[in-house]
């Protein structure tokens, strides 16, 4: 009968089975190499089938056989690798699911701030005391005791071994894994400066016998440790903002609900609300859980969940979403979904999983970081050998070697992709766009074709009977006969027939032996007579003769964009029904903007060519593929896909599931809480095509942001390491001070995270108003529209 199925309740938004998925919060990671090491350790656990460790979110998502995998065993493996881990419980019923994590982060940040403060204080004293040596002249008024190497040793030791203990622990853990990471570089570089200075302090005569002055570099060790730690602190604060969208979503949940039990209204904690409870919602209050209105009516602000800015009118029988704001009226609702089953809880869970996933573009950074640290250590050794060999000065060789070790920054590479993904998926959730995984977000920017379903996607999804025609009986008698069959079907067109009959006050009789013919129609026995209702082509295929005199009427209706269905009694066609489903007011502008973005838009529908082309003209779509059965849509999507030509399918996610799964990017478009994403990659909570435009724009903005981050990270390391090694010295006589190298290294990670945070302010491009007299669409290609 039509191309799209009914909007029945869909499966939950969770992208994975809770029984076989565990989420771990991990502390102690310092760079992408740490994440890679933890992934390798988890992969060796028996029963684990997939594992992803996200350096930016400091979380691991592990999937496996729950009969073989013990969460405590996963924690032990992470701890044996040198990190701290805890299981993140998926318990939405508690008042704030993020409390434990926030407390742990607060404790860690407090300790980090204390170390930074002490490091800055001691390093400042050391830096002042070393100014005469760095400047090569005495400074009037500077106390001589500040230059005493024994005092400098006393001031440096706490910075090196307490403030910087994190680097030693991380380096030791990496050594146990037979690997190296950023901690290794910092520990090697600062230890070289510290122990060289210690040797010069305790055995100055040895240096004099070698013809060298026993210079000390305590300030280098202390300042570098402090600067790197300051950078980590700034990085942690910036990374904390990447999860702001999740915290905002969690904060939307009301704390209490006014439940009516035994005729008494009482406020109870939200965790105590049960399915079936009757709840009163007053003006200005938030809807506590998902449900349906039983009494009353109101206007609700759903922008915090769906992204829709205009209030939505609701009355008895309408579904309401938890966490949305009741504006004007008062109503009584019945709780249908509570706790972790509410739409809000499922959105949070889906966004968390998307933020923990890896985009394909991240594989480039992962491959580089796998050999980056060993390569830097090799360059540092080569730098030391060359400078000592060519300049004959071990002190100069040591200073340049320290610079190489300190300036190299695998952190910037590791943060380049995941921070952008985290911010983008969170921002998408705020706009009513739920991205299932990072690879879906990345692929969307390369789309070349967008295929649209008609009913509920391009149109309102609320068809209504507009015309009834029968030559032999009254229109109401024909409508009564049709409604008797269609009352057992969930198809939108069938529901339109039933609603029309009810509106006319018709008493609908019962039917027997009902059978639905998918994509064609339905048949049943009504009052002892066999009745068929459905496509005219199907009725003719069933042997029911067609009266040519009816063709003109059918063509007139179809040219108006109406779907025409026939009603047959026994083997005789007794009448026709015309059903119209108007396109959404925003669809033409959204289609035009997709086309202006360089995308080909195709209408894929089960309607006949005349009706499909009429709808396409209204929407501004130039290419139509009509008369496609639901099971054939996936095959058409497969034909449209070509190398370097990704295709997106936009549908309601239920009957269109095979096509959504076949497309490179499946986009499920929902109406209120009817959100089905089992086969989709991206879900739009609001039933508005503008969400498709926003999703693609967000993908393009995200990939541009990631490329900026990767470019900066690669360029920084490509230029910084040779400069630290002294590559400019033969031409300019300039050498990089290790303290400047430490500052550059600290700022590199912060700058990458700061750039990613710009995505928090992403705004979709506004839709331009449609011209008053749009130009006619281009002619359809040969062979299409049929």
> Which of the two residues, 312 and 630, has the higher pLDDT score?
312
Q: What is the DSSP string of 704-768?
A: HHHHHHHHHHHHHHHHHHHHHHTTTHHHH-----HHHHHHHHHHHHHHHHHHHHGGGG--PPPPP
User: In this predicted structure, what is the pLDDT of residue 238?
Assistant: 67
The mean per-residue pLDDT over the stretch 462-489 comes to: 90
Q: Is 359 exposed, middle or buried (0-12, 13-18, 19+ CB in 10 A)?
A: buried
The predicted-structure confidence for 27-65, as pLDDT tens digits, reads as follows: 878 776 778 788 888 988 988 988 888 877 788 889 888
User: In this predicted structure, what is the pLDDT of residue 561?
Assistant: 86
User: In this predicted structure, what is the pLDDT of residue 8?
Assistant: 32
The predicted-structure confidence for 353-379, as pLDDT tens digits, reads as follows: 776 777 777 777 777 777 888 888 899
Look at residue 667 and give its three-state secondary structure.
strand
Q: Of 3, 439, 453, 652, which one is the catalytic site residue?
A: 453
User: In this predicted structure, what is the pLDDT of residue 251?
Assistant: 76
**H helical segments located in 243-330:** 244-251, 303-306
By residue count, the chain amounts to 786
Q: Is residue 17 very low, low, confident or very high in pLDDT (cuts 50, 70, 90)?
A: very low
Among 229, 588, 622, 707, residue whose Cα is nearest residue 449: 622
Predicted confidence (pLDDT) at residue 778 exceeds the cutoff of 50? no
Q: Is residue 381 very low, low, confident or very high in pLDDT (cuts 50, 70, 90)?
A: very high
Structure tokens at 657: 């599931």
The mean per-residue pLDDT over the stretch 85-92 comes to: 72
User: In this predicted structure, what is the pLDDT of residue 620?
Assistant: 93
Q: Is residue 468 very low, low, confident or very high in pLDDT (cuts 50, 70, 90)?
A: very high
Predicted confidence (pLDDT) at residue 290 exceeds the cutoff of 90? yes
Buried-exposed string 436-453: b where 16+ CB fall within 10 A, e elsewhere: bbbbbbbbbbebbbbbbb
CA 193 remoteness from chain centre: 44
> Which of the two residues, 273 and 745, has the higher pLDDT score?
273
User: In this predicted structure, what is the pLDDT of residue 5?
Assistant: 35
The mean per-residue pLDDT over the stretch 578-600 comes to: 92
Instruction: Output phi, psi for 337, to 5 deg.
Output: -135, 130
Q: 378 CB contacts (<8 Å, ≥6 apart)?
A: none
* β-bridge mates for residue 266, sequence order: 259
Q: Is residue 775 very low, low, confident or very high in pLDDT (cuts 50, 70, 90)?
A: very low
The mean per-residue pLDDT over the stretch 522-527 comes to: 92
Averaged confidence pLDDT in the chain: 82
Is 267 an annotated catalytic residue? no
User: In this predicted structure, what is the pLDDT of residue 13?
Assistant: 37
Q: 326 CB contacts (<8 Å, ≥6 apart)?
A: 281, 282, 283, 284, 285, 286, 287, 298, 300
Predicted confidence (pLDDT) at residue 307 exceeds the cutoff of 70? no
User: In this predicted structure, what is the pLDDT of residue 675?
Assistant: 39
User: In this predicted structure, what is the pLDDT of residue 524?
Assistant: 93
Structure tokens at 552: 């003109």
Percent of the chain with pLDDT over 90: 28
User: In this predicted structure, what is the pLDDT of residue 642?
Assistant: 85
Among 272, 311, 428, 381, residue whose Cα is nearest residue 759: 428
Percent of the chain with pLDDT over 70: 88
> Which of the two residues, 453 and 232, has the higher pLDDT score?
453
Among 82, 110, 149, 123, residue whose Cα is nearest residue 225: 123
The angle, 0 to 180 degrees and rounded to 10, between the axes of the packed helices 690-725 and 418-430 is 160
Predicted confidence (pLDDT) at residue 278 exceeds the cutoff of 80? yes
Predicted confidence (pLDDT) at residue 590 exceeds the cutoff of 70? yes
Q: 713 CB contacts (<8 Å, ≥6 apart)?
A: 365, 409, 412, 413, 416, 748, 752
> Which of the two residues, 240 and 85, has the higher pLDDT score?
85
Strands 59-64 and 48-54: antiparallel
User: In this predicted structure, what is the pLDDT of residue 609?
Assistant: 87
Among 299, 338, 428, residue whose Cα is nearest residue 686: 428
Q: Give the number of other Cβ atoms within 10 Å of residue 266's Cβ.
A: 11
273-282, 343-352, 447-456: segment of lowest average pLDDT: 343-352
What DSSP character marks residue 458?
A: I
Q: 175 CB contacts (<8 Å, ≥6 apart)?
A: 184
Q: Rounded CA gap, 52 and 55, in Å?
A: 10
- Cα angle at 581 between 578 and 586, to 5 degrees? 155
User: In this predicted structure, what is the pLDDT of residue 570?
Assistant: 84
């Amino acid at each position: 009968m039509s191309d799209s199925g009914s909007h029945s309740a869909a499966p939950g938004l969770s992208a994975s089975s809770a029984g076989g998925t565990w989420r771990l919060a991990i502390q102690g990671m310092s760079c992408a190499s740490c994440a890679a090491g933890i992934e390798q350790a988890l992969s060796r656990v028996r029963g684990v089938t997939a594992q992803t460790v996200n350096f930016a979110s400091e979380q691991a998502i592990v999937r496996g056989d729950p009969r073989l995998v013990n969460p405590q065993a996963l924690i032990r493996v992470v701890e044996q690798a040198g990190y701290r881990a805890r299981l993140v419980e998926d318990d939405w019923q508690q008042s704030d699911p993020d409390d434990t994590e926030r407390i742990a982060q607060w404790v860690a940040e407090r300790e980090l701030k204390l170390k930074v403060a002490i490091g800055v204080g001691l390093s400042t004293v050391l830096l002042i005391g070393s100014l005469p040596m760095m400047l090569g002249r005495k400074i009037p008024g500077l106390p001589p005791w500040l230059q005493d190497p024994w005092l400098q040793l006393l001031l440096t030791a706490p910075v090196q071994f307490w403030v910087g203990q994190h680097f030693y622990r991380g380096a030791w853990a990496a050594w146990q894994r037979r690997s190296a990471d950023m901690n290794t570089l910092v520990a090697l570089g600062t230890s070289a400066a510290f122990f060289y200075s210690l040797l010069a302090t305790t055995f100055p005569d040895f240096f004099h016998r070698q013809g060298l002055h026993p210079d000390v570099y305590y300030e280098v060790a202390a300042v570098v440790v402090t600067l790197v730690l300051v950078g980590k602190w700034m990085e942690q604060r910036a990374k904390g903002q990447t999860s702001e969208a999740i915290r905002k979503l969690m904060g939307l949940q009301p704390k209490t609900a006014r439940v009516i039990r035994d005729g008494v209204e009482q406020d109870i904690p939200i965790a105590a609300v049960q399915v079936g409870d009757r709840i009163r919602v007053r003006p200005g209050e938030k809807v506590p859980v998902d449900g349906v209105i039983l009494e009353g009516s109101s206007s609700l602000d759903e922008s915090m969940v769906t992204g829709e800015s205009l209030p939505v009118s609701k009355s008895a029988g309408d579904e309401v979403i938890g966490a949305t704001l009741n504006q004007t009226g008062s109503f009584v609702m019945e709780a249908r979904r509570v706790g972790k089953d509410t739409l809000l809880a499922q959105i949070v869970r889906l966004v968390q999983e998307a933020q923990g996933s890896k985009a394909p573009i991240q594989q480039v950074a992962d491959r580089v970081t796998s050999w980056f640290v060993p390569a830097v250590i090799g360059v540092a050794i080569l730098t030391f050998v060359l400078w000592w060999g060519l300049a004959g000065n071990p002190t100069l060789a040591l200073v340049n070697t320290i610079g190489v070790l300190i300036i190299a920054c695998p952190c910037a590479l590791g943060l380049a992709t995941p921070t952008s993904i985290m911010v983008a998926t969170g921002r998408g959730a705020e706009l009513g766009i739920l991205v299932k995984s990072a690879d879906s977000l990345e692929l969307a920017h390369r789309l070349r074709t967008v295929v649209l379903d008609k009913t509920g996607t391009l149109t309102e999804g609320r068809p209504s009977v507009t015309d009834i025609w029968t030559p032999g009986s009254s229109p109401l008698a024909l409508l009564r006969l049709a409604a008797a069959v269609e009352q057992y079907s969930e198809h939108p067109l069938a529901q339109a027939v039933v609603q029309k009959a009810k509106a006319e006050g018709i008493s609908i009789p019962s039917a027997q032996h009902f059978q639905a013919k998918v994509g064609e129609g339905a048949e049943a026995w009504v009052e002892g007579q066999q009745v068929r209702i459905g496509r005219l082509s199907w009725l003719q295929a069933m042997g029911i003769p067609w009266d040519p005199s009816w063709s003109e009427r059918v063509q007139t209706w179809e040219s108006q964009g109406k779907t025409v269905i026939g009603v047959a009694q026994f083997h005789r066609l007794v009448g026709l029904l015309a059903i119209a489903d108007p396109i959404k007011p925003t669809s033409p502008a959204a289609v035009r903007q997709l086309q202006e973005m360089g995308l080909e838009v195709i209408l894929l529908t089960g309607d006949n060519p005349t009706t499909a082309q009429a709808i396409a003209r209204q929407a501004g779509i130039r290419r139509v593929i009509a008369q496609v059965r639901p099971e054939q849509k996936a095959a058409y999507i497969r034909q449209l896909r070509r190398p370097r030509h990704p295709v997106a399918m936009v549908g309601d996610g239920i009957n269109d599931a095979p096509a959504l799964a076949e497309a490179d990017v499946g986009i499920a478009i929902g109406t209120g809480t009817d959100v089905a994403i089992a086969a989709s990659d991206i879900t739009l909570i609001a039933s508005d095509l503008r969400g498709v435009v926003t999703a693609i724009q967000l993908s393009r903005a995200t990939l541009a942001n990631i490329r900026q981050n990767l470019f900066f990270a690669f360029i920084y390391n490509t230029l910084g390491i040779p400069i630290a090694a002294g590559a400019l010295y033969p031409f300019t006589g300039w050498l990089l001070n290790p303290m400047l190298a430490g500052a550059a290294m600290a700022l590199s990670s912060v700058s990458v995270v700061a750039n990613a945070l710009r995505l928090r302010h992403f705004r979709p491009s506004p839709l331009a108003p449609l011209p008053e007299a749009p130009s006619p669409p281009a002619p359809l290609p040969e062979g299409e529209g049929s």
